[in-house]
Structure formats: structure tokens, C-alpha cells
Amino acid sequence: MSAAQRAEHDEATYDVIVIGGGGAGLRAAIEATAQGAKTAIVCKSLFGKAHTVMAEGGMAAALRNVWPEDGWDVHFRDTMRGGKLLNNWRMAQIHAQESPDRVLELEEWGAMFDRTPEGLILQRDFGGHRYARLAHVGDRTGLELIRTLQYRAVELGIDVLMECNVQRLLLDDGHVAGAFGYWRQTGRFILLRAKAIVLATGGAGRSWRVTTNSWESTGDGLRLALEAGADLMDMEFVQFHPTGMVWPLSVRGLLVTEGVRGDGGTLKNKNGERFMFNYIPEFFKAETADSEAEADRWYQDKKNNRRTPDLLPRDEVARAINSEVKAGRGTPHGGVWLDIASRRSADYIKRRLPSMYVQFKELADVDITKEAFEIGPTCHYFMGGIRVEADSAATTVRGLFAAGECAAGLHGANRLGGNSLSDLVVFGRRAGLHAAQFAAAQRAPGAVDPSDLDAAAARMLAPLERQDGEDPYAIQSDLQDTMQDLVGLIRTQSELDEALVRVRSYRDRLSRVSARGDAKYNPAWNLSLDLDSMLTVSEVCTRAASMRTESRGGHTRDDFPTADPEWAKVNVVVRRKDGELSLQTEPLPQMPADLKEIATGEGKATAAAAPQTT
């Protein structure tokens, strides 16, 4: 970009900039504003449309409205066990302790959760949670969460820069000085100067063919953080949700909420067998029902019965479905059956799962109140992400914070359903708080180096200037096939090696990409730039997956099928040094003895949580 062009870009200055308008970004911005920081939210899509809007089932918090036996310690234990103890224990503790307050605060700001007969917030069952714990609004909890926070942000007068895409973070002597990006509607560049930045850019599932994620989930925040010098962690752990739609092709991957199973639905193979009873792992045997009768009784009486295996953590269920299909017991389109029709009344289903009812009716011509439907695993959630300090959400770069799905640690090797929405508000708030405090201690935003802007602008303009280059849609499509086929639910060394070769070849193609047309609302250009993030995430995920030679949670190796106690002690950490990625293992933070006792199943809390067999 010439000096003249550079002079033309828009410019704005804030104390705190939050990149991301999902639950995490909104909550961060609300808190930063409450702390007195001049704050802006930047998001790629329209305000109120972020991926969070799609969340269905609910948000986990030990409110104890339905089960007084519940408590933060039980929630902590469930989260740690779901994550195969690889979680950052301190994050899991904070999350379990603070989530009830964050839910009540949403109610204060206007959220209308479903109610118990006593008029309190109703809680529903979800996989891996000992008690019915998820505050919810039918099956559209994410919509309620985002609207509530969106209108709270409006009330506080927070600036929202929407359809604005951040492409680079700017540093001054190693600490954050701002961000550079473009407006999608005009293609104009914008320079944002800030004392602190919160990354809340969400997940990265878009690199897989079959996914629940929207186009936004390209992992931009992960790339931005890595380039700025921050660490990524746990990038090998990708959650494949067991129940995505499989037919028709047009909706393949679309989420079917776990709430279907939470509310009584059950998985069956083509022979009508409830196969999950054959897949109960040793680790969960003591707390899982081993007969259909006990599993069915559990919905009503949790004290005297153990949980149905249909609600084992997601990694277990996804692998079981995969095995059934491989063994030839799948449905016509390569999934298994999910049946709630034969188990609950049509009225109940329509009331509890209204969006699911409509989704199947309109998009698949299936009436879920009358028949079972086909489902199969779909790429859903990134446990890994930006490494943060547990209490403050600070990254290793000064002035840079991260929260929500783009941050790592809370969920360990596998996330429990409902623990993301609560994560967003618990750590979104903390990120906003600490970013505001950090900003208050700075006199002015750092200096911006004009040569950084030149470099960023040149990189962004290149796809528009190039004629007859590679087609961005074709690169995306090839990448999605590669990640789906070779870095999916089940992995093996030779396939991971092949994936890495291919991903690098796409990188090469991306350097020759050309987007036809100009910069104004041009999806081909937007995709060309997003592909940079998608390829970075894919490479990092593939390399981390090759490194971890064991199976744990959302990372399953065909060639190393069991968990390895040595790998239980370390995270895989990724950083960029001199332009090159480096991966290494680092020891997990040590869990204090009292919490360890809770997490591993003895101790006070677990006495309450222990399955009681009669």
C-alpha cells in the first residue's frame, strides 16, 4: 500500500478492543465497559448473528434448582473427568464456582429461561453431568444468551464495528498496540488502536467437510495470536459431536442437540439394538447403567439409578457410533438411529425440542415425533486454542487476552455439553475485567509501525491484484476433504503425515490465489484471507495430533488405541519462533491435593456424587 492509500484508511482508538461478538466477546465488552474502559466490539458478521446464536441445549451451572445435591464440586469433578483430567484445574474450578452467578445475571438482564414448577430456572440433563444442570430455553439457548447480552451492550452504549474483519494484530515492543482489518461492506481498511485486546473469535470447525460450525469459524483468533507470539495449546483435541444430521446431503453435519438424548431419546443401530450398552468404558462403569431398565428409570430417579450410556461424554458416544457403522450395523446413509418418537409424546417433544422438530420437518421431511431419524458424528468444537492464565485470561503477550472457544484449558481433552455457554460468560467477564485493568495502567496505546500496516495491506490486497490464480473455493473444498478424511474422529500416523503434505500444498496454492472482482462485499476475497487461518489451524492440529501418541478424549489414534499415563501429565504447546512453528510438551499445572481428591473420585463431593446402587 502506498503512503497515500494508507492515509485513507479509517482509524479509531479505544482502551479495549474485543474481537468477537459471540457470548464471550459480548460478556467481555460489557465487563470492560462496566470497569470504565472505552470499549469496542469488532465482529465479522452482523451484530447478534455470531455462532453462539446456534447453541441449542443449554448452559451448565450448579444452580441446584432441580437437584439440591448438586454443587460446584460435583460440576468441577464432572468437567475434569469429561476432559480426561487434562483440563487446567484452576479454570475448571473457577468455571464451576462462578457459572451460577453468571446465569442469574443473564436473568437480571432479561433472559427468560424455562421454569421449574416452583418458578425457578429449570435445568436439563446432558452427557457427562451427574445432575440435571443445564439452564435452557427449549432448544434455542444460544439465541437467548446472545440477544440478552446484545441488548445489554446496546444499553451500555458500546460501539459495535460489525462486518469488520481483523486480519492482523499490531505490536509495540512485544505488547499489543492495535489491530488492522477491513470493512466487508466497502473493502476499506481500518486501523484500531488500543491499550488491550480481547480475542473472542470462537472455533475453527470450518476446515472439516462435515461440521456444525458456521462460515465464521475459521480460527482467525488462533492465527492472530500465534502470529503475535502467543502460545496455542491442546490443538489435537477436536470434538466430534455424536449427533449431526446425515441426510439429505445439503444438511449433513447440522447439529442435533444432545437435549434429544437428555430428554429421553436413545441411540439404536439398524437392528434396533441400543448399542451404547456395549461401549461403556472402564472409567465410567461405576456411574453408568448397565441395563435398559435402569437407564430408563434414571430419567425420573437419579438417586437410585445410574445414568444411561446414551449420555456418556461425547467422545465416547461418537466413537461408538463410528464402530457400529464400520461393523455394518449403520443406517442407509451411514449413520445410526436416534429415537425419541417411541419414547416421548408428540406434545412433549414439540415443547422441549421445537427447533429440532422444525429443522427435521423442513429440511429432511422427517417428523421426529413419529419416527426415528439418522444421525452421525460431526466436527463441532475446539477444546484447544490460545493458552491463557486461568484467573485473568491473559495470554503470554502483554495486553492480549482470550476467552471463549478460542481459548484453551477449561475443557481438557473433551468438553461436556453445556460447559461452553457457561465458559463464555465466566471467562468472558474475567477477560474483560483484566483487559480493562491492564488498559487503565497504560498511558496511551502503543505506537504503530507503518511498515506493519504496509505489510498487512499488501498481503490483504494480493488476492485482488493477482489475475488467473488459484480458486479460493477449490482450495477450501480440498482442505475440507483432507481434514475430514485424514484428521477426523479416528487418526493414524500415515494419514496424519499425508494430511500435512497436502495442507502444505494448499498453502502453496494459497500464495497464488486470486479473487475475482473488487473488495466490496466480495466473498471470494474474504475467503482467500480466511483460508490463511484455516490452513494454520489445520497444520497445527495435524502436527499436534501426530505428536500425541495415545488416545484421549477428542483425540483417538488407531495406532495408539489406549490412554498413556505419561501423556496424562503434559499439554502439547505450539508457538511461532523466527517464522517457524514449534511444538513441544509442557507439564500440566499441579492440582492441589483437595481438588485432586474431588476430581478423581474419593473425598467429600464425590461421596454425594457417587452412584448409589440398590
Partner 1 sequence: MTETTEQVRRDATVRVFRGEDRTSGQFVEYTVPVDPGMVVLDVMFRVQQMRAPDLAVRWNCKAGKCGSCSAEINGRPKLMCMTRLSSLPPAEPITVAPMATFPLVRDLVTDVSFNYEKAKTIPAVRLAPPGPDGKRRMFQEEVDRVQEFHKCIECFLCQNVCHVIRDHEENKEAYAGPRFFVKLAALEMHPLDTRDRIEMIRAREGLGYCNITKCCTEVCPESIKITDNAIIPLKERVVSEFYDPLAWVKRRIFGGPDDGAKEPAAVADR
Q: Measured in Å, how far apart are the chain's first and last C-alpha atoms?
A: 74
Catalytic residue among 51, 75, 206, 261: 261
Is the separation of the CB atoms in 28 and 428 below 8 Å? yes
Q: Between 242 and 281, how does the x/- string for binding to partner 1 read (CB under 8 A)?
A: -----xxxxx--xx--------------------------
Specify which residues 389 forms β-bridges with. Answer: none
- Of 66 and 500, the one with the shorter C-beta distance to ligand FAD is 66
* Alpha-carbon gap, residue 445 to 441, rounded angstroms: 11
Cell of 504: 502444505
- Of 289 and 527, the one with the shorter C-beta distance to partner 1 is 527
Number of residues that this document lists for the chain: 614
Residues 54-83 that bind partner 1 (CB under 8 A): 54, 65
**Does the annotation count 241 as an active-site position?**
yes
What is the chain's Cα-based Rg? 23
Specify which residues 183 forms β-bridges with. Answer: 164
- 372 torsion bin: left (phi>0), alpha (psi -120 to 50), beta (else): beta
384 makes contact with ligand FAD (CB under 6 A):
no
Cell of 133: 444442570
Q: Give Cβ neighbours of residue 605 (< 8 Å, ≥ 6 apart).
A: 71, 73, 74, 76, 77, 598
Cell of 592: 492441589
20 interface partner picked from ligand FAD, partner 1, none, CB below 5 to 8 A per type: ligand FAD
Q: Which long-range contacts (C-beta less than 8 Å, at least 24 apart) are formed by 306-309?
A: 306/611, 306/613, 307/130, 308/261, 308/266, 308/276, 309/276, 309/277, 309/279, 309/280
561 makes contact with partner 1 (CB under 8 A):
no
Q: Between 141 and 160, how does the x/- string for binding to ligand FAD read (CB under 6 A)?
A: xx------------------
**Does the annotation count 344 as an active-site position?**
no
Q: Which amino acid is at 480?
A: Q
Nearest to 492 by CA among 551, 566, 433: 551
Cell of 423: 465458559
Residue 206's alpha-carbon distances to 2, 13, 220, 241, 529, in angstroms, are 34, 32, 11, 14, 14
489 interface partner picked from partner 1, ligand FAD, none, CB below 5 to 8 A per type: none
40 makes contact with partner 1 (CB under 8 A):
no
220 makes contact with ligand FAD (CB under 6 A):
yes
In the complex, minimum distance from the CB of residue 151 to ligand FAD, in angstroms, rounded to a whole number:
16
Judged by CB under 6 A, the residue of 405, 495, 532, 539 near ligand FAD is: 405
Please calculate the CA angle 109-115-116 and round it to the nearest 5 degrees: 140
In the complex, minimum distance from the CB of residue 478 to partner 1, in angstroms, rounded to a whole number:
12
Cell of 142: 444460544
Residues 218-247 that bind partner 1 (CB under 8 A): 247
608 interface partner picked from partner 1, ligand FAD, none, CB below 5 to 8 A per type: none
Stretch of 44-52, 227-235, 492-500, 558-566 lying at the interface with partner 1 (CB under 8 A) = 44-52
Judged by CB under 8 A, the residue of 48, 127, 309, 384 near partner 1 is: 48
Nearest to 232 by CA among 402, 32, 481: 402
519 makes contact with ligand FAD (CB under 6 A):
no
Q: Between 127 and 156, how does the x/- string for binding to partner 1 read (CB under 8 A)?
A: ----------xx-x-xxx--x---xx-xx-
Nearest to 81 by CA among 71, 67, 90, 92: 92
Order of strands across the sheet with 232-233? 385-386, 232-233, 570-577, 580-587
Cis check: omega of the bond before 248, within 30 degrees of 0? yes
192 makes contact with ligand FAD (CB under 6 A):
no
418 interface partner picked from partner 1, ligand FAD, none, CB below 5 to 8 A per type: ligand FAD
Stretch of 108-116, 268-276, 359-367, 401-409 lying at the interface with ligand FAD (CB under 6 A) = 401-409
Judged by CB under 8 A, the residue of 31, 78, 98, 216 near partner 1 is: 216
Residues 417-446 that bind ligand FAD (CB under 6 A): 417-421, 424
Q: Which amino acid is at 163?
A: E
Q: Between 251 and 290, how does the x/- string for binding to ligand FAD read (CB under 6 A)?
A: ----x-----------------------------------
110 makes contact with partner 1 (CB under 8 A):
yes
Catalytic residue among 223, 241, 411, 548: 241
Task: Mark 135-156 as b/e (b = at least 16 C-beta within 10 Å).
Answer: bbbbbbbbbbbbbbbbebbeee
Catalytic positions? 241, 261
Residues interacting with partner 1, by CB under 8 A? 45-51, 53-54, 65, 104, 107-110, 112, 114-115, 117-121, 137-138, 140, 142-144, 147, 151-152, 154-155, 157, 160, 162, 185, 214-216, 247-251, 254-255, 355, 358-359, 362-365, 471-474, 477, 515-518, 520-525
Residues interacting with ligand FAD, by CB under 6 A? 19-25, 42-45, 50-52, 54-59, 141-142, 165-166, 200-203, 212-213, 216, 220-221, 255, 381, 404-406, 417-421, 424
